[in-house]
Amino acid sequence: MSLAQPHKIALRFLLLASMMVGILGMLGAVQSTQAAQGAPLQIVRNDGATFAIVSSELKFSPSNAVTISPESLVNAEVGAKNLKPLGDLSPESVIGADGRTQVINTSAYPNSAIAHLEVNFPSGSGTCTGWFMSRNRLATAGHCVYDATAGEWATSIIVYPGRDGSTAPYGSFSAINWYTVTKWISTGNSKYDYGLIKLGSDVGNTVGWFGYGWTADDSFLLNRKSNVRGYPGDKAYGTMWTMKGRIQQVKKTRLFYSIDTFGGRLTGRLPEGLRYSLEGALQAGKDGAATHRAAAWFSALSRRWMLSGKPLDVAAEYKFATGTKDPRNTAKVGAFDVLFPSTHDKFGHMDLFGWRNIHAARSQATFALKAPLTLNLMYDSWWLASERDALYSAAGRAIARSPAGTAGRHVGQELDFFGTYRYRRFTFGAGYGHMFKGAFVKSTTPGVPPTFVYLFHTYSL
C-alpha cells in the first residue's frame, strides 16, 4: 500500500469525525446550555467534589497584620523557571507611562501575605499571584487553578510567600487542594474568574493575611485610594511590583481603576461559544557575529459542547516560527531560537519536530467520559517556513536540509489517539501515533515513517 493511501484514509476519518461532532453538538448544545444557565452556582474542588455556597452573616473578616521576626525568615534560594504568566492580556494592561514600582522589602507585611504561584497544568505551566486570606488559604484567579479554554485542572501549585526574584523569604509550600466555581468551568466568563488555594501548612500565621468584607454602599468604595500589588509577567521573574490609584467605578461584583497591570497571552471569547488564544514572540540581537531577527506565533480556536452532560472540546491551532531565508548568507540568522525547548505535545505526541522554521496546523477533539477519564483524537500537519533552511527537532537541532530548496515544503502529518486516567496525584495514559511522510521528508531522509504505541504515567508533587 502506498503512502498516499494512508493519507486519504486519515483525512476521510477526520472529516467523518468532524461531521459527527458537529451534528451531535448541534443536537445537544441548546439543551445543555439552558441546563447550565439554570444550575445554581456551586464550589468545585480539583478532585471533582462540589459544595453548596452558604451565606455568611459576617460582613467583615479582619486581617492578621503580623510583625515578622528575623528568625522567621528562611531566605531560600530558588531558580528562575521563566514560566509565562497565566490568563488574559488586555491592551489596556499598561496605560500610558508605566507607573509601577518594584517592592523591595517583600518579607514585611503586607507584602509577605502576597505570594508568587508556579502552576502546572497537563498542557503546560505558568505563574500567577495569590494573597493569603487565612492561615492556610489563598485567594487567586480562577484561571490559575482551572484552564477553562483547555478544560483542565492544575495538577500542582507551588506557593512562594513574599518572593523576591531568586529569594523565597519563607520558602515554598505545595497546595493540597484548589477550588473554583461551576460557572467558571462551564462558561469561562471572566465574571466568575476567581479561585481559592488550600495549603497543608499554617504559614499564614507567620506571613499574615488580608481581611475582606462586603458593602452595599457604592460610595464607600468610589474614589477610594487603592494599591495593586503582585507578580506581573513583563518584569523580572518572581519580582513584586506595585502601583497606587483610585477606584473610578463600582459595580456589583467589580471595581474599575486605571492602575497598570500585566498578564500573559491574549485569550477571550467569541460568539457561538468559541474561544480564542493568541501569542507572539520577537527576537532581535546577535548570534555570534551574525544579526539575529526572528519571530514566532501561536493561535488557537476552540469550542466546548456538552454531550449527555459530558464535555467534548474541539480545537484548531496554528503555530509558526521563522527560519533563515538564505543559510548561505552567514551575516543574517532568521531561525527562531527555542530558548527553553520543552515542546512536548506541541507538534504531535511523538515530539519529532520543534518550534523553528515551521508552519504547523493541528485539530484535536477531547471527550471526558468521566471526571478522571478522557479520550483524545489529534491530527498535526507541518510545512517548512523557509524551504532552504533545515527541519529542526524539538531540541532545536537540524534533522534534514535541502540547500537548494528543491525538496518541497510539506514535512508530513501525524495522527494520534490516546487516553488519560487520573487517580489522585497520578495520571496514567496509553496511545497510538503514526507519522505520514510529506514531500520534504521523502526527498531528504531514508527509511519508513515511525509508528508509536506507548504507555505513560506522571506523578504530581
Q: What is the mean pLDDT of residues 341-358?
A: 80
The pLDDT of residue 18 is above 70: no
350-353 contacts, C-beta under 8 A, 24 or more apart? 350/414, 350/416, 350/433, 350/435, 350/450, 350/452, 351/394, 352/393, 352/394, 352/414, 352/435, 352/450, 353/382, 353/391, 353/392, 353/393, 353/394, 353/399, 353/411
Three cell numbers written together for 410:
510539506
**What are 131-159's pLDDT values in tens digits?**
999 999 999 999 999 988 788 999 999 99
172 within a domain of the structure (yes/no): yes
**What are 22-68's pLDDT values in tens digits?**
433 433 433 333 334 456 789 999 999 999 988 877 778 888 988 88
263 within a domain of the structure (yes/no): no
What domain range includes position 87?
A: 43-257
The mean pLDDT of the chain is 82
Q: Which of 94-98, 176-180, 330-334 is least confident?
A: 94-98
Is 212 found in the same domain as 141?
A: yes
Is 233 found in the same domain as 197?
A: yes
**What are 232-279's pLDDT values in tens digits?**
877 888 999 988 878 877 877 777 665 444 444 566 677 888 888 888
The pLDDT of residue 369 is above 60: yes
Of 257, 285, 306, the domain-final residue: 257
The pLDDT of residue 432 is above 70: yes
265 within a domain of the structure (yes/no): no
Q: Model confidence at 164, in pLDDT bands (50, 70, 90)? A: very high
Is 436 found in the same domain as 313?
A: yes
Q: What is the mean pLDDT of residues 368-378?
A: 86
Q: Model confidence at 20, in pLDDT bands (50, 70, 90)? A: very low
DSSP tally for the chain: helices H, then strands E: 5, 31
Three cell numbers written together for 269:
471569547
Q: Model confidence at 319, in pLDDT bands (50, 70, 90)? A: very high
Is 153 found in the same domain as 57?
A: yes
428 within a domain of the structure (yes/no): yes
Our count of domains for the chain comes to 2
Closest by CA position to 69, among listed 195, 169, 2 = 169
Q: Which of 138-147, 214-223, 353-362, 446-455 is least confident?
A: 214-223
Q: How far is CA 304 from the centre of its chain?
A: 17
For the whole model, what pTM was predicted?
Answer: 0.53
